Each structure stands twice: as structure tokens, then as C-alpha cells.
A and B are shown apart, each in its own frame.
Chain A
Amino acid sequence: MKVKMLSRNPDNYVRETKLDIQRVPRNYDPTLHPFEVPREYVRALNATKLERVFAKPFLASLDGHRDGVNCLAKHPKSLTTVGDDKTVKQWKMDGPGCGEEEEPLQTILGKTVSTGIDHHWKDPIFATCGQQVDIWDEQRTSPVCSMNWGFDSVCSVKFNPIETFILGSCASDRNIVLYDMRQATPLKKVILDMRTNTICWNPMEAFHFTAANEDYNLYTFDMRALDTPVQVHMDHVSAVLDVDYSPTGKEFVSASFDKSIRIFPVERSRSREVYHTKRMQHVICVKWTSDSKYIMCGSDEMNIRLWKANASEKLGVLTSREKAANDYNQKLKEKFQYHPHVKRIARHRHLPKSIYSQIQEQRIMKESRRRKEMNRRKHSKPGSVPVVSERKKHVVAVVK
């Protein structure tokens, strides 16, 4: 007689080593796991709520300065400064020894006052700006080349991180000028409505840069087509003073006179995050750290503040399960981002009263301006009041 027995392959249920997790067979039949959309929706909603619960971006405040912090730099290999005394000074990277007087390595007496300085990304070159843009070799005491276009003073100059021979500068006569260092000539000039305070190049896209403007907006330009900005970023309620790109090139942070800093995705016109504290005054400079995890800002009230770039991100080592859950939550939030409740919770931010009221006020102003223009268009000859897109509105002219 043949006896039939149930037999199982032990490979299917025995783990190879003790350290492996137990095998749990699972049936993925969709009829056994119904309501996938509602269940995922609930998970997404919870993830969004938890994100807001854990959003604690402020890490530290570094005090010690006795006046406003006007300038920040990250990971410098050499330190060069300019001052109102028409000098350019090079400094030692390590501080003075015990009992030693701190002295600059070299002091160059220039002919004009320099207002800004930037170092080349690879070569020992730096550029200063003032009445003209000067390119200096670190080894020499006179500028290698100097470029000039127009008469107004240039307030900031920045090297392109990818195509390193390109420079961008912004002058106080409301224009942004691009220079080519190799050909020793300016390239093009774009005139905006109001003055641009500084620009920043995208470190992953060679031809994109963002300009922080006095008219509360930031403009992202493609330097090959300056007549229309790629994107107008608006959310600030006062002049934008500084801007810096995340090293991933996907986002940038801007510092504003309205005592807040905002983080914008590059392709979006509205900010995804706003940071502020009660004591932080006008933010003058801001930097995104090179590992893209932190943001530093220097402000009027003598402090440097350190923030997390992702407000709710957990810092430190994550277990794989934590990481998986984190990724899943991110994806869920992304998937359900258009659902009204998720959207509302994700967007909610507490703002200081001054900023809040100014936002309301500006909304009213904008609406009334829009209405007025609409009325004007309605009551004038068709075509005489053309519709100008928001992007084109702020560019006055492009000078070749």
C-alpha cells in the first residue's frame, strides 16, 4: 500500500542562517487585500501629519559676532577679502598662533573700492567688482584683466561653477551683466525692473542662474535667452538679499529682508518651505552646505543660524526599516499631494504676524492691479492693452 504524505521543501521555509529574518510567506492576491486606495490614503494623511509634527528645522544659533553678519563662505581653500579701504587682503587659512598678531599674508592696494569678491572654482583666480570687474591672479598684485560695461558700480560677481570662465555680475543700475573671462569681454546685459542684489549659478545646470531681486521676487534665467526668465519665484514680502543653490541643483534657498528664509524648488514659482524665528532679523546672507543637508544664514542681529534643509528629516544613522518607511511615506505624500486634506496639512505654516499681514496686503494689491488692468483692457481698443505674462513683465530690456 502506498501511503501519501504531505511533503514540503524545507528551502521554502527554513532560513539559511540564524541572522536571517524568518520567512513569512505572503499571499498577494488582491482580493485578500481590498480597499487599497482608501488604506493608502489614510497612510498618506498620517505621513503628512507626522511630517508636520516632526518638522523642527532649527538646529543651532552661532553667536559671537559683534555686528551683523554680511558674508559667508563654505569650504574655502584660500581666504581673500575686500574692504571699503580699497584693499584686497589674503589671509592664512589657519588662525594665528598663541600670542601672535593676526596679519594678512598679502595686502594689495587697489585703485577703486571693491564691493564684492568671488573665487574661481578651480584655478587660483579671483574676481572683484566695484567700478569694474577685475580678474586677479593670486600670485600677482595687479589684475590680470578688467572688464567694464556701463558706469554704475557692480555690487556682486559670481563665477559659473561648471563652465568656469563665465562670470555673472549685478550692477546697481538694475542690470545683470555676464562676462566671458577667456575672451575678456562682457557678453550680454539684462535690465530688470528693480535692482538685483546677487545671483547664484546652478551647480548642475551650466546655463541657469537665479537672481535675487529687490522687487521681492527671484528670477531664474537661462543665460542664452535672457529676455524671458525661465521661472519667477515669488513668495517673499520684502527685498531678497541673497540666494544659494543646493549642491544637487534641484532647490535653492533665499534670504530676505522680511526676516525669513525660503526654500524654492527650481521649477516651481512658489516656495516649499519658510524658516523664521522670533529673534532673527533681516537675513543678509545664506548658504546651503555642500552635502545638501543644512542651511546657514547670517543676519543683522549678529548671529549665524543653522537649519535643516528638510525640516522633518531625521538626522543620524537610520536602520533599513526606518529608511524604507521614510521612503514609502515620501512616495505616499507625493502620490496623494493633490488631495485637499493632504495638501492643506502639508502647506500649513505658522508665520509671524508681520509677514502674514503683508502677504494678505500684497495679495489684495495684486488682485486690484489685475482688476484694474482687466478693466483697462475691457474699455480700450482691442489689442491696445496686450496681456503680458508674469515672466515677461519684469524684464525691461536685453542689451547686446
Chain B
Amino acid sequence: MEPKSDTRRFFKSLHAFGERKQAATVDMARNVAGLLALSQQEELMDLPNHSPLSTSEDEGDSDGERKSQKLLEAVSSLGGKSRWKLAERSEATLGVSEFNVTSDGSGEKLVLSDLLESSTALSSLAAVRKQLLRVKSKTLAIPLDKKEADQILREAAFSKTAQVLSKWDPVVLKNRQAEQLFFPMEKELPAVAPVEHAFTGWKTRTPLEQEVFNLLHKNKQPVTDPLLTPVEKASLKAMSLEEVKIHRAELQKTRALQSYYEARARREKKIKSKKYHKFMKKGKAKKAFKEFEQLCKDDPSAALQELGKMEEARVLERMSLKHQGSGKWAKSKAIMARYDLETRQAMQEQLAKKRELTQKLQVVSESEEEEEKCTEEGIISASDGMNDLQMNAAGVNPWMLRSCNSSAGRGELKTDPEQLPQQVAGGFSVGEEDERPVAEELVLKERSFQERVEPNSAKPMGGQEAEVSSDCQEEVSESRVLLQKLHKENDQSEQQNVSSVGTVLQIQREELAQEESLVPQRLERTHVLEEQGELGKEGRCQKKGHPRPMLKGEWKKRNPHSVLDVSRREKKDQMIDLQKLLTTRSPVKSLAVPTVVELKDEVETDHKQIIKEAFAGDDVIREFLKEKRETVEANKPKDLDLTLPGWGEWVGMGLKPSAKKRRRFLIKAPESSPRKDKNLPNVILNEKHNILAAAHQVHAIPHPFTHHQQFERTIQNPIGYTWNTQRAFQKLTVPKVGTKLGHIIKPLKAENVGYRSSSRSDLSVLQSSRKRLSKKQQKQLKASSAD
């Protein structure tokens, strides 16, 4: 009796085990319900039936027969069909098992293979064997740990929910950016019956109506929104036959052209002759040059754009190390250059090219045009030196100019013609190592443009020229005017002239000494001497008190000799020195200084000097002075003219109010107190700044704004009724959020924003998902929720 109960207990425990497992899986199945397919779920439910299979071995029971019977049952239960057949196969033997499978006495465990061994003998058991084998191969993986399974479920559910929520993104964004929102949001739609409904009750009565209706129906005329019949729509979409033909022909033609072009390009690419490519390059360069010339004539603005491109190319060239002797080719040549003249020349050519490519572009200012006018009036004699210098500077890098000048010394006129052709040759000859024809073309264009713009201009074109401030240029032009006058006046004695020129010289020397400009000192002097000579020959002279109404500023204080001074300065490529700009230094004082200055020998350009030249363009002090002058002008109180034309007088085009009237209604500005920075040359004091107002002003740009102009614009646009019309005022002051007192604002609904709300309520979804679970599982769920 005891063993019997034992086995029962065992099977009970087996059963319990299976059930617990079932519980786990059921739990899982419940969770998966929304995610997994139903079939999968069924599979999971089937699983526990197989489970006793692997656990049935370990039983130390004496009652072998019963045990084996049970085992058989368990085994046979695996295959549904043969199970009953096997059960029937019992014979009336005395408790002797026909299979003899007891492990009693042998002390070994019963293994499944032992059972299967006997089945091999019997052909009738083949089906069972097969099934067993199949079961073996189908062993399922161990189910996931509950924790992990839950996590997977949660993640899946979360991603699903996030997806559902993301449909609200555009709504939220729209509401946040809305200019104005009015709550409650639900609007009662006005009940307007659609047209179809209106038509249903309609019946045709008169024959005319019938005719019309017949027509409409025959053409399938739609009544509502799309007013075109299907046929009309199709015809609108379709192309006419001719159009299609033309279109096709065009396509064919373009395709053919493309193929021709490709074939040609391929052919040309195959040509290996260097000479050919060289010629092609040259041809291209020339063509570009011509095109640019044409462009200059036709469309100056486009030409300017081209120039801009050239400038860019120049900048690129300056940044790159090309043509600088660092390349492979250049290095190889550098070794040979010592012995071979040709290679040396090639190297030099390359360097020249670099120079050209990096040469800065000239910007033509208005004052130059003025000068052009002057020269065209017939003043040829405006100092040879100027012309020379201009020609010299026109095409050459200012840096190189310096060295050339210093080395060439006096023979300045000679160097010019030499230099120019050389450059031109350099410009036109295409180097063998040339890798960037584009840049070259650009340079060519640039040069031609320069020549075009000022064919006979009489102005130096140094590198700094472009940035020279306008009043300086005015002075230059003024000097020219004066020179003209000098031409005309012939009645003064030579003696005077000489003396005046002498003083000029003195001034210059003194200034030179002060400025310590070492480079072209001697050069300049020779210039001046030449000029003097010319002046002397022509018998020109200069009055001491010559009227010069056009000169202004500090130049007014100077005596007339400064004219020459100016022209000389002009020749120095508009080199600006700090001292000459300072107002504290008066010309009278300079006159008083003794005039003994040693002539210095030719000096090589100093490093300092070079730097000075390099930054000569950034004319800080002159700009500052100009700025100061402007602020002083702007802050001066101005006269108030209250004259109203048309009162007591005739008025119209070309008529002005009478002088008397103007005088009568002109309110003169009161004399302001002297400025605080009057005696401080290096300071601009802002007298308008009000400390009391500063307390009311915003000091930093507030957060949403990125630029102070944005903020100022918002502040400067008035929104009040004083400045805006009624309608505009209402629009500007509409509140961002509007609500009504006592009106309940409900939370956002999908229907309100045009989304389809889920038709089923949450409760029904919840219940339906629960219905999917079996009763048994529900019971377990309850049990699990209870504990």
C-alpha cells in the first residue's frame, strides 16, 4: 500500500509541477496577449503535456509492473493514435511484463533508449518510434526568466505607446506656436446640409428642367466639389500629339548632342601630345581674356563680379604654396638651377607667376575719375615723375617695387619699360609647370580690366591706394588744379621761384628726417629736383599768398609750398605716417627748423620699413580723426529753418522763398559750450550720454533675441492706437490665450484636432483582452493578484 501512495504522490507532484509551469506560461500568455498571435499561445499551452517525459525515470519502486504500465502510458500518450491501441494490448499472463523493462536488481536507472531498443524489433511499433524521435528533436528552449520576459513585454508596450503618442507632436507644436488660442476649443459646426441632400427632394417639373437634368446626367456631371467630369480631367492631364512629338524630338536631339560631346571629349583626352595641350591651354586663356574684355564693354557689373572671382583666386593662391618653389618640380629644378641657365629662367618665371597671381586688385574710386577729367583737359605736364611712378606701380607688386627702386636708383625711367614687358611676358607665357590655367586667366582678365579702366590715368596705383581716405584724394586733385594754375601764370620771376622751391626742399628734408623713411629718400629728392628744374625752365613761379580756397583742415594752415609737398607725398604711394597727421605739429614750426640735412646714401629696405608699409593701409589715426570731426559736426546744434514756402509769395518749381523771409524765419542755433574733448586730440567724449536714462535702458540682449537689431525693431514698432489704425491696433493687441469666464475647458480630444479617435473605449479593450484568456488562467490571475 505504501509504494502505491508514493507513486500517487509523485504524480501529484508532477501534476503540480506542470500546473505551476502552466501558471507561469499562462501569466506570460496573458501578458503577451496583445502582442503574440493566438496560435503561438496555443502552442505554449500544449507544452506542459510533454513535460513529464523527461522526469519519469528516477523512481526506486518495487512494483515494477505498475510502474512500467504507467511509464508506457506516459510514453504512449506522446503519440495520440497508438495510445489506445497499446492499452488494449494486454494479455492474461501472470504479471510478467512482456517487455521486461524492470530496472529492478540491476541497480541501473531506466533510460529512454532501453525502452526504445525493444521497439526496434517490432515493426508494429515503428510509428511510436518515429513519434518519439520527432519529440526528441523538438525539445523547446527553456522559457525566459520572468523578470526578463516582463522587461521585454514592457519595452514592446512602451514603444507601441510612444508611437501612439507621437501623433500628437504636430498638434502640440501648432498650439505652442499659435499666435492666439481660444478656449474652449470645440466649435459647434453650423448645420449646413450638403448639396446632395438638397437635390434629393427635387423633382423636375418643366420640360426645360428635364432637358437640363438629362444633359447633366449624360455627362456624369458631378454635383459637389470636383466640378470636372472624369473625361474633362483626363483631357486636361493629357498632352496634345504635336506637343508630344516636339518634346520627343527635343529629347532625342539633346541625347545625340550629349553623345557627340562625350565622344569628342574622350578623343581629346586620349591625345598625348604635350604641345597640343599647351596650345589648347593658351587658346583657352586667350578666349577667356577676350570674353572678359567683351564683358567689360557690355556689362560692367558682371565684369566686377568676375573681378571678385579673380580676387578669390588670388586669395587662394596666396594661401596655397603653389608656385612657391616647394613643389616636386621646383625642388628638382632648384638643384639644377645653379648650372643651367634655362632652368634658372624657368624658376624665375614660376616666381613671377606667383607674384602675378597674388597681386592685389585695384579698386577704382571716384576721385580717380575726377583726375581723369583733369588730365583730359589737356594738362600733360602734371609731373613726369608721377606718371612714371604710376606706370611702375600699375603692374607690380608693391613689395617688389621697393626693391627694384632701391636697386635701380636713379634710372627709374629705364626700369619701367623693362619691368612692364617682362611682366606681360610672364603673364602671357604659359609656364610648363602651370597647373592652374584658371588663375592665370583671371590674372589676364584683371590686367586688362585695369588698363581698360584707366588708360591714361595720372595716378599712382600702389597697393595701399585703394584704402586711402577720400579727403586725401581730394587733396591730390587739388594739387593738380594748382599745378594747372602754375602753368598758366608766367609773370613771376625765376628768382622767387627758386627760393620758394628751396623752402620746399627744406621742409621735405626735415620731414623726411623726422619720418625716418629710409627707402626712397634719395629717389624722392631727385624727383623734386627734376620738378624744380622743369618749373624753372618754364619760368613758373609761386606767390606767397596764393589763394587756395579748396584746401581745408590742417592743410589750410600750411603755406602754398605744401602743394609740392602733397604731390611728393602722393608719389610715395600714399604712405601714411602718424606724425604728419597729428594736428599738434604745425608747419610754421617746421619752417623754423634749420634746413641742414645730410644726404644719405642708398639704403636697403629695412625690415621695420617693410612692416610699416604692409600696414600702411590700415590708417587708424586718420580714420579716428575723421570720425571725431564727424561726431563734432553731428553734435553741433543746427539752425532751424521754419520758412514755409507759399505764404504771401508765389511758389513753384525754381522759386525760392525770399531772402528776407528766410532770414526772418531762421532760428539760429545757440552757441553751445565748448566740447570737453576740444583739447584732447586722441579722445572723443560722448556728451549725449545720459546717466539718468541709462537706468531705463536694457543692458544686455534678452534671451530669445540673437541680435540687438532684432530687439530694437520690436521695441521701435509702436502698437498703440495713437500710431495705428483701429483694425491694426486690434490685431496687434489680441491676447495670446483667450478664455471665457464660466466655460469649462475640456482636455484635448482626438476629434477636435482632426484625428480619428479610437472607436472602442478603454474598458471594452481591457475586457476583450481578458476574454482571450481562458477561465483557468483567469483563476490563476486572481490567485496571483491575491498574493
Pair B769/A184 contact, Cβ less than 8 Å: yes
Pair A185/B157 contact, Cβ less than 8 Å: yes
- Pick from A111, A328, A336: contact of B786, CB below 8 A: A111
* Cβ of A188 under 8 Å from chain B: yes
Give the interface segment out of B105-113, B478-486, B724-732.
B724-732
Give the interface segment out of A83-91, A163-171, A298-306.
A163-171
For the A-B complex, the count of residue pairs with Cβ-Cβ distances under 8 Å equals: 188
* Cβ of A39 under 8 Å from chain B: yes
Pair B723/A30 contact, Cβ less than 8 Å: yes
Q: Which residues of B711-768 are within 8 A (CB) of A?
A: 711, 714-716, 718-725, 729-730, 732-735, 737, 739-750, 761-763, 765-767
Pair B733/A324 contact, Cβ less than 8 Å: yes
Given contacts A248-B183, A327-B733, A327-B734, contact A182 B739 (CB under 8 A): no
Pair A187/B719 contact, Cβ less than 8 Å: no
Task: Mark interface residues in B117-159 (1 if CB within 8 Å of A CB, else 0).
Answer: 0000000000000000000000000000000001101110110
Given contacts A36-B723, A188-B158, A332-B719, contact A125 B763 (CB under 8 A): yes
What's the nearest-Cβ distance from chain A to residue B111, in Å? 43
Pair B161/A180 contact, Cβ less than 8 Å: yes
Pair B725/A182 contact, Cβ less than 8 Å: no
* Cβ of B160 under 8 Å from chain A: yes
What's the nearest-Cβ distance from chain B to residue A155, in Å? 20
Pair A331/B719 contact, Cβ less than 8 Å: yes
Bound Cα distance from A184 to B784, whole angstroms:
14
* Cβ of B166 under 8 Å from chain A: yes
* Cβ of A335 under 8 Å from chain B: yes
- Pick from B151, B172, B721, B770: contact of A144, CB below 8 A: B770
What's the nearest-Cβ distance from chain B to residue A305, in Å? 20
Q: Which residues of B contact A188 (CB under 8 A)?
A: 154, 158
Pair B719/A341 contact, Cβ less than 8 Å: no
* Cβ of A395 under 8 Å from chain B: no
What's the nearest-Cβ distance from chain A to residue B36, in Å? 12
* Cβ of B175 under 8 Å from chain A: yes
Give the interface segment out of B361-369, B582-590, B690-698.
B690-698
Bound Cα distance from A188 to B766, whole angstroms:
20
Given contacts A36-B718, A205-B172, contact A123 B762 (CB under 8 A): yes
Pair A33/B722 contact, Cβ less than 8 Å: yes
Given contacts A28-B723, A39-B722, A180-B161, contact A248 B696 (CB under 8 A): no
* Cβ of B168 under 8 Å from chain A: yes
Residue of A nearest to B765 (CB): A182
* Cβ of B31 under 8 Å from chain A: yes
Bound Cα distance from A292 to B182, whole angstroms:
12
Pair A291/B744 contact, Cβ less than 8 Å: yes
Task: Mark interface residues in A5-19 (1 if CB within 8 Å of B CB, else 0).
Answer: 000000000000000
Task: Mark interface residues in B53-97 (1 if CB within 8 Å of A CB, else 0).
Answer: 000000000000000000000000000000000000000000000
A180, A183, A185 — which one has the most chain B CB atoms within 10 A of its CB?
A183
* Cβ of B162 under 8 Å from chain A: yes
Judged by DSSP, the binding face of A is loop
* Cβ of B34 under 8 Å from chain A: yes
* Cβ of A135 under 8 Å from chain B: yes
* Cβ of A224 under 8 Å from chain B: yes
B165, B765, B770 — which one has the most chain A CB atoms within 10 A of its CB?
B165
Bound Cα distance from A33 to B721, whole angstroms:
11
Interface size class of A (residues with CB under 8 A): 35 or more
Given contacts A165-B762, A291-B742, A335-B715, contact A40 B720 (CB under 8 A): yes
Residue of B nearest to A45 (CB): B696
Bound Cα distance from A241 to B520, whole angstroms:
86
Residue of A nearest to B158 (CB): A187
Q: Which residues of A contact B733 (CB under 8 A)?
A: 324, 327-328, 330-331
Given contacts A33-B722, A144-B766, contact A291 B741 (CB under 8 A): yes
- Pick from B702, B735, B739, B747: contact of A161, CB below 8 A: B747
Pair B715/A182 contact, Cβ less than 8 Å: no
Residue of A nearest to B714 (CB): A335
What's the nearest-Cβ distance from chain A to residue B62, in Å? 48
Bound Cα distance from A261 to B695, whole angstroms:
33
Q: Which residues of A contact B742 (CB under 8 A)?
A: 291, 293
- Pick from A120, A183, A331: contact of B732, CB below 8 A: A331
Bound Cα distance from A320 to B208, whole angstroms:
55
Task: Mark interface residues in A119-153 (1 if CB within 8 Å of B CB, else 0).
Answer: 01111110000001001010000111110000000
Pair A247/B695 contact, Cβ less than 8 Å: no
- Pick from A75, A124, A143: contact of B744, CB below 8 A: A75
Q: Which residues of A174-215 are within 8 A (CB) of B?
A: 178, 180-188, 203-208
What's the nearest-Cβ distance from chain A to residue B172, in Å? 5
Pair B166/A224 contact, Cβ less than 8 Å: yes
Pair A206/B168 contact, Cβ less than 8 Å: yes
Given contacts A30-B723, A187-B161, contact A37 B698 (CB under 8 A): no
Bound Cα distance from A124 to B748, whole angstroms:
19
What's the nearest-Cβ distance from chain A to residue B26, in Å? 14
Pair B696/A28 contact, Cβ less than 8 Å: no
- Pick from B714, B723, B739: contact of A293, CB below 8 A: B739
* Cβ of B785 under 8 Å from chain A: yes
* Cβ of B216 under 8 Å from chain A: no
Pair A247/B747 contact, Cβ less than 8 Å: yes
Bound Cα distance from A159 to B722, whole angstroms:
50
Given contacts A28-B725, A43-B720, A144-B770, contact A339 B31 (CB under 8 A): no
* Cβ of A69 under 8 Å from chain B: no
What's the nearest-Cβ distance from chain A to residue B465, in Å? 44
Bound Cα distance from A350 to B697, whole angstroms:
25
Residue of A nearest to B725 (CB): A28
What's the nearest-Cβ distance from chain A to residue B716, in Å? 6
- A sample of 20 inter-chain contacts (CB < 8 A) reads A40-B720, A120-B762, A122-B761, A123-B761, A125-B763, A146-B785, A161-B747, A165-B765, A178-B158, A180-B160, A183-B34, A208-B172, A250-B737, A290-B744, A291-B743, A328-B720, A328-B733, A332-B720, A335-B715, A400-B154
Given contacts A36-B722, A204-B175, 4 further A-B contacts (CB under 8 A): A37-B716, A122-B761, A144-B763, A185-B150
Ranked nearest first, the 8 interchain pairs of A and B with the lowest CB-CB distance are: A161-B747, A247-B745, A203-B747, A36-B718, A338-B702, A327-B733, A206-B168, A290-B744
Chain A residues proximal to chain B, CB less than 8 Å: 28, 30, 33, 36-37, 39-41, 43, 75, 111, 120-125, 132, 135, 137, 142-146, 161-166, 178, 180-188, 203-208, 223-224, 247-250, 290-293, 315, 324, 327-328, 330-332, 335-336, 338-341, 400
